[in-house]
Amino acid sequence: MAANRNALALHKVIMVGSGGVGKSALTLQFMYDEFVELKADSYRKKVVLDGEEVQVDILDTAGQEDYAAIRDNYFRSGEGFLCVFLTESESFAATADFREQILRVKEEDNVPFLLVGNKSDLEDRRQVGVEVAKARAEQWAVSYVETSAKTRANVDKVFFDLMRDIRARKMEDGKKKTKSWAERIRERCCIL
């Protein structure tokens, strides 16, 4: 962050989830007030995150992820993931597959990741209870948030919470690097 004052921090978000769950609608709702389209499904926006101006890249996946190689490349390029489902069973089950694929590709036990139950405005069609979704999120040690791309409920929250997770992860990784560098120096000092 402070290390390079000229470049804004950039946080890379990937939208994943079954077709029709609202990945595009959430992305467009978040982007609406100011957005630059990079290509069909990829967006960049400047936002103020806790007082710091940053950029967010959003890759809104759409079915191409059926091709494993393309999907893996997308997942590799992401720093954080919004895993969206409808509060209806089929897309909820798919979230477990998405999470597994992401962790495999990232070669990590945990990555910045939010479980997002979308279309909260359609409460009468709900099939997955809040408690069931929360239990899965807890098991994964991630947050569960319900959104509506229609009413805008929690739209900013999911993107900003994810960016905070990404930022925290980058700071942690930075510390690790500094530590191992310091350790290497210390080792050398001992030899000398």
Distance CA 97, CA 75 (A): 13
| Among the listed residues 81, 74, 72, the one whose alpha carbon sits nearest the alpha carbon of residue 112 | 81
Site residues (CB under 5 A) for Mg ion, limited to 154-183: none
| Among the listed residues 4, 3, 13, 38, the one whose alpha carbon sits nearest the alpha carbon of residue 116 | 13
Q: Which amino acid is at 16?
A: V
Task: Kindly state whether residue 148 participates in binding ligand GDP, applying the rule CB under 6 A.
Answer: yes
Task: Kindly state whether residue 25 participates in binding ligand GDP, applying the rule CB under 6 A.
Answer: yes
Per partner kind, with CB cut-offs from 5 to 8 A, the member of ligand GDP, Mg ion, none near residue 22 is ligand GDP
**Least Cβ distance, residue 32 to ligand GDP (angstroms):** 13
Site residues (CB under 5 A) for Mg ion, limited to 21-40: 23-24
27/167 with CB nearer ligand GDP: 27
Task: Kindly state whether residue 22 participates in binding ligand GDP, applying the rule CB under 6 A.
Answer: yes
**Least Cβ distance, residue 31 to ligand GDP (angstroms):** 12
**Least Cβ distance, residue 120 to ligand GDP (angstroms):** 7
DSSP assignment string, 20-55: TSSHHHHHHHHHTTS-EEEETTEEEEEEEETTEEEE
Residue 113 tokens, joined: 């990741």
24/101 with CB nearer Mg ion: 24
User: Phi and psi for 84 in degrees, rounded to 5?
Assistant: -100, 140
Site residues (CB under 6 A) for ligand GDP, limited to 71-130: 118-119, 121-122
Residue 151, helix vs strand vs coil? coil
Cα angle value 186/189/192 (rounded, 5°): 155
Distance CA 54, CA 11 (A): 8
21/162 with CB nearer ligand GDP: 21
Query: In the stretch 46-65, what mask flags binding to Mg ion with x, by CB under 5 A?
Result: ----------------x---
Q: Which residues lie near Mg ion (CB under 5 A)?
A: 23-24, 62
Q: Which residues lie near ligand GDP (CB under 6 A)?
A: 17, 19-25, 62, 118-119, 121-122, 148-150
